[in-house]
Amino acid sequence: MANINEVMNTAKGLADLAGKKAGEAVEVSKLKINNIKINGEIQKSYEKLGAFVYKFRKNGEENSALVDMCVKEIDELLAVLEQNEQKINETRHKAKCPDCGTLNDLQAVYCMKCGTKLQHETEDQYVEMNVASTEPETSATPGCGCAQTCGQAEKTCGEDQPENPSCGCE
Ligand SMILES: [Zn+2]
C-alpha cells in the first residue's frame, strides 16, 4: 500500500517535471520568434545591399566598403540564425535530464551524467501549445452563448440546443 507521503512526492515530482518541460518549450518558442525577427532583419539587409549595388551600378560608381559592410552584417545575422537553429534542435531532439539539465540522446533511458531516468514525451505538443497560447484569445463561448446569463438560461437562450454540451445551463 502506498503511503500518503509517497503519493504526494510523486505528484510533486510530476508537477516539477511539467514545469521544466513547459520552460523548455517556452525557450524553443522564444528562439523561434527570435529567428522570425532575424529573418526579417536579413531581408532588410538584402534589400539595402541590393539598393546600394543598383545605385552604384547605375551611377557607374564603386563603393566596395559599403557593400562589404552589408555582406558582413548579413553574415553576422546568418550566424545568429544558425546558432538559434542549433539550440532549437538541441532542445527538441535531445532528451534533457530533468535533474541536471544534461542533453542526452533521444534513445537514452538514463542521464549519462547523473543517472536520472529520462522522460520521453512529445515536446512538439508542448511547443504547439505554447505557440498557440501567444495568440490573442477569444472569450466567446461556442454554442448557444447563454453561459453568461446562466440562472435564467432557459428564458434567455431561446435556441433549440438543449443538448449542447458547451451550454451547461440544462
Ligand atoms: Zn542528469
Where along the chain do its domains lie?
A: 15-94+122-131
pLDDT score at 146? 46
pLDDT score at 82? 94
Please tell me the distance from the alpha carbon of residue 97 to that of residue 17, in angstroms, as a whole number.
10
Q: 95 forms bridges with which residues in the sheet?
A: 104
Model confidence pTM above 0.85: no
Q: How far is the CA of 76 from the centre of ligand 1 (A)?
A: 34
Name the DSSP letter for residue 104.
E
Q: Confirm if 36 and 77 have CB atoms less than 8 A apart.
A: no
Q: How far is the CA of 116 from the centre of ligand 1 (A)?
A: 5
pLDDT band at 158, cuts 50/70/90?
A: very low
Residues with CB under 5 A from ligand 1 (ion): 97, 99-100, 102, 111, 113-114, 116
4-59 and 64-92 helices cross at what angle (nearest 10)? 160
Span 22-68, pLDDT tens digits = 666 777 889 999 999 999 999 999 999 999 999 999 999 888 899 99
Q: Is the confidence at residue 95, as pLDDT, over 60?
A: yes
Q: How far is the CA of 128 from the centre of ligand 1 (A)?
A: 26
Cell numbers at residue 128, please?
A: 504547439
Q: Which residue has the cell 543517472?
A: 115
Q: How far is the CA of 88 from the centre of ligand 1 (A)?
A: 20
Closest CA to 45 of 20, 24, 63, 71: 71
Reduced DSSP (H G I as helix, E B as strand, rest coil) percent helix, strand, coil of the chain, to 5: 60, 5, 35
Q: How far is the CA of 110 from the centre of ligand 1 (A)?
A: 8
Span 102-143, pLDDT tens digits = 888 888 889 999 999 887 655 444 444 555 444 454 444 455
Q: How far is the CA of 99 from the centre of ligand 1 (A)?
A: 5
Please tell me the distance from the alpha carbon of residue 157 to that of residue 146, in angstroms, as a whole number.
5
pLDDT score at 149? 46
Q: Which residue has the cell 522564444?
A: 30
Cell numbers at residue 48, please?
A: 539595402
